[in-house]
Structure 1
Amino acid sequence: MQGCHQQKREQHMQEKISTVAFIGLGVMGYPMAGHLARAGLTVRVYNRSEGKAKAWTEQFGGSYHATPAEAAQRADLVLVCVGNDDDVRQVTTGEQGALSGMQTGSLLVDHTTASADLAQELDAACRERNIGFIDAPVSGGQQGAENGTLTIMCGGNEADFSRAETTLAHYARAVTLMGPVGSGQLTKMVNQICIAGLVQGLAEGLHFAERAGLDQQRVIDVISKGAAGSWQMENRHKTMIADAYEHGFAVDWMRKDLGICLEQARRLQARLPVTALVDQFYGDVQVMGGGRWDTSSLLRRLRGHDD
């Protein structure tokens, strides 16, 4: 019986991906699923808020469904992009989760920034059903999702990755297999660790420039051409100078991500003193009422200390 399931899976893996299900139509998932529809794929969507799923189908076509399981039916590939570990479990292995509707030989890809433990858990659940699995967190934010220029860090086996890569490339400029299951999430942790330090450094630099009476924009125009330049500097300095943070990647989500990083670091006995400190600073921003502000709001925290 197991051999029969394996044979069906191998046959299915050779087929071209033409029908996909997308679970989670938030600020990232909505445009990502849209790129798939524009590419000519049949897209079946599910979102906790049905109104957004309906609006998506009115804009892009496809079909929306009442449960993840229903959306996953007849899909060659199921993509998930939700909030956290518990949200992923709910829409995959929970009651009416996607796995209960997926067919043998199909493939589950989780774009959620979640724990490496969850990736292992989902991989085991998928293997029981002869379904492939890839953990594939993304970087690039809402802008990257809308422009189709995300960076995707993947964990899984070569065969599953090769099958999914072309589809993922519809909304990414880089899709890279980092290693076995869990490697994508671990790489995303590195990404968030680096960003935390960069944003705090940029916030401190702009704060210092302001206190010194310098023209902040002119300062950025000069130093961005040298070793201090970064994506954060290029894409966030204008709104930071304007003290505008009602956009971008929310502080609440960054704290969730940094919590995952710090927990994993404890297990690995990796020392992350700056990351731990910046996580506390984001806690201060939350106390200021900035849970939904962009992560660059670390500058407002510094300005607030001047009041």
Structure 2
Amino acid sequence: MNHPTAQPAPSTVRRVAFLGLGVMGYPMAGHLAKAGLDVTVYNRTASKAQQWVAEYGGRAAATPREAADGADLVLACVGNDDDLRSVTLGENGAFAGMARNTAFVDHTTASANVARELAEVAGQKDLHFIDAPVSGGQSGAQNGKLTIMCGGEPAVFEQASPVLAHYAAAVTLVGAVGAGQLAKMVNQICIAGVVQGLSEAINFGQLAGLDMPLVLEVIGKGAAASWQMDNRGKTMIDGKFDYGFAVDWMRKDLGFCLDEAKRNGASLPVTALVDQFYADVQALGGNRFDTSSLIWRLRALKPAR
């Protein structure tokens, strides 16, 4: 893969483009504007971009290419591999508008393959590419506390990381292009297993007649403690599932994990099973419920006694 040699980082990145203003991208771009950067945004639904400009200032562009024109750094957070290709490639894609030696930072949770593919195309155009998926959900984006896992060239990462820090608690280079997406897959595999275990534990405790808020308070001080227990345990007990990352998105992510496992030979039996449990949640109408809705599946599909 041919990459241009990264030049020394500028003292300050001033002009940035942000492509994709969904539940994550909207507040992420907002943090950049609040930090005093000159932000141009693009969104497939133009009215959302206009809404963002009314709230934060800056400028809305009609195409990714227009947004990227003159930017010191281009960032994106869109839906999937195809969405990412649509905002980067072609006559109106961002790559066509970017100046030589500038970097494209992708926050989409996508496949490692598309990261490598787009890095190859970027290198042929004397551009740089960093895959930088995020963890922390909508609340992390809103509060500027995301964890960002990056894959790319160290010198390019050094250029981009101060900008990413405006909406992140941690920004880490974990390897070459594609490594960020692979690290995010590791993250999602961990979450899938933990949420299923927590769902089974809470459901078990409720059926046993325990005071589950009290039980979680007690065991949360020991080895069973987790972010999921601290932040989703109470809402799972209450049957509330509108707090975070949607089941549809989790299935997309677990699909990437399972596809990559076929390539690298990893065994993911628990992940494959939990993916099917999320398919059950979808079949029951819980597509937009957050990932903690695995407990709802246990309640809805209670075996006959």
Once the two structures are TM-superposed, the CA of residue 6 in structure 1 deviates from its matched residue by: 6.0
Please tell me whether residue 131 in structure 1 is matched to residue 127 in structure 2: yes
Please tell me whether residue 121 in structure 1 is matched to residue 117 in structure 2: yes
Q: Distance in 1 between matches of 2:27 and 2:10?
A: 28
User: Which residue matches 2:201?
Assistant: 205
Q: Distance in 2 between matches of 1:109 and 1:241?
A: 38
Deviations 1:103-122 (A, max 9, x none): 11211000001111111111
User: Which residue matches 1:172?
Assistant: 168
Q: Distance in 1 between matches of 2:100 and 2:131?
A: 19
User: Which residue matches 2:299?
Assistant: 303
3-state SS in 1 of match to 2:17 = strand
Match of 1:141, as an amino acid?
Answer: G
3-state SS in 1 of match to 2:302 = coil
Q: Distance in 1 between matches of 2:98 and 2:143?
A: 29
Where has structure 1 moved over 2 Å in runs of 4 or more? 13-16
3-state SS in 1 of match to 2:18 = strand
Deviates more, 1:93-102 or 1:139-148: 93-102
User: Which residue matches 2:93?
Assistant: 97
User: Which residue matches 2:79?
Assistant: 83
Once the two structures are TM-superposed, the CA of residue 220 in structure 1 deviates from its matched residue by: 0.8
Once the two structures are TM-superposed, the CA of residue 72 in structure 1 deviates from its matched residue by: 0.6
Q: Distance in 1 between matches of 2:39 and 2:137?
A: 22
8 Å CA contact 2:150–2:172 kept in 1: the answer is yes
Please tell me whether residue 48 in structure 1 is matched to residue 44 in structure 2: yes
User: Which residue matches 1:10?
Assistant: 7
Match of 2:7, as an amino acid?
Answer: E
8 Å CA contact 2:4–2:123 kept in 1: the answer is no
TM-score normalised by structure 2 residue count: 0.96
Q: Distance in 2 between matches of 1:44 and 1:104?
A: 19
Q: Distance in 1 between matches of 2:10 and 2:135?
A: 29
Match of 2:104, as an amino acid?
Answer: L
1:196 to 172, 192, 196: 192
3-state SS in 2 of match to 1:303 = helix
Q: Distance in 2 between matches of 1:131 and 1:6?
A: 7
Match of 2:214, as an amino acid?
Answer: R
Structure 1 residues 287 and 95: alpha-carbon distance in aligned structure 2, compared to 1, 3 A threshold: farther
3-state SS in 2 of match to 1:154 = strand
3-state SS in 2 of match to 1:10 = coil
3-state SS in 1 of match to 2:7 = helix
Q: Distance in 2 between matches of 1:264 and 1:153?
A: 17
User: Which residue matches 1:258?
Assistant: 254
User: Which residue matches 1:186?
Assistant: 182
User: Which residue matches 2:142?
Assistant: 146
Q: Distance in 1 between matches of 2:69 and 2:212?
A: 54
Q: Distance in 1 between matches of 2:76 and 2:167?
A: 14
Once the two structures are TM-superposed, the CA of residue 95 in structure 1 deviates from its matched residue by: 4.0
Q: State the identity %.
A: 62
Count the aligned residue pairs: 301
Q: Distance in 1 between matches of 2:265 and 2:239?
A: 37
1:159 to 146, 155, 160: 155
TM-score normalised by structure 1 residue count: 0.95
Deviations 1:108-152 (A, max 9, x none): 000001111111111111111111110000000001001101000
Deviations 1:219-266 (A, max 9, x none): 111111111111111111121111111231000000000000000001
Give the alignment's Cα RMSD to 1 decimal.
Answer: 1.5
Deviates more, 1:280-289 or 1:94-103: 94-103
In the alignment, structure 2 segments of 5+ residues that lack a partner are none
Once the two structures are TM-superposed, the CA of residue 32 in structure 1 deviates from its matched residue by: 0.4
In the alignment, structure 1 segments of 5+ residues that lack a partner are none
Q: Distance in 1 between matches of 2:105 and 2:90?
A: 16
User: Which residue matches 2:55?
Assistant: 59
Deviates more, 1:210-219 or 1:237-246: 237-246
Q: Distance in 2 between matches of 1:180 and 1:165?
A: 15
Once the two structures are TM-superposed, the CA of residue 82 in structure 1 deviates from its matched residue by: 0.5
User: Which residue matches 2:64?
Assistant: 68
User: Which residue matches 1:36?
Assistant: 32
3-state SS in 1 of match to 2:216 = helix
Match of 1:121, as an amino acid?
Answer: E
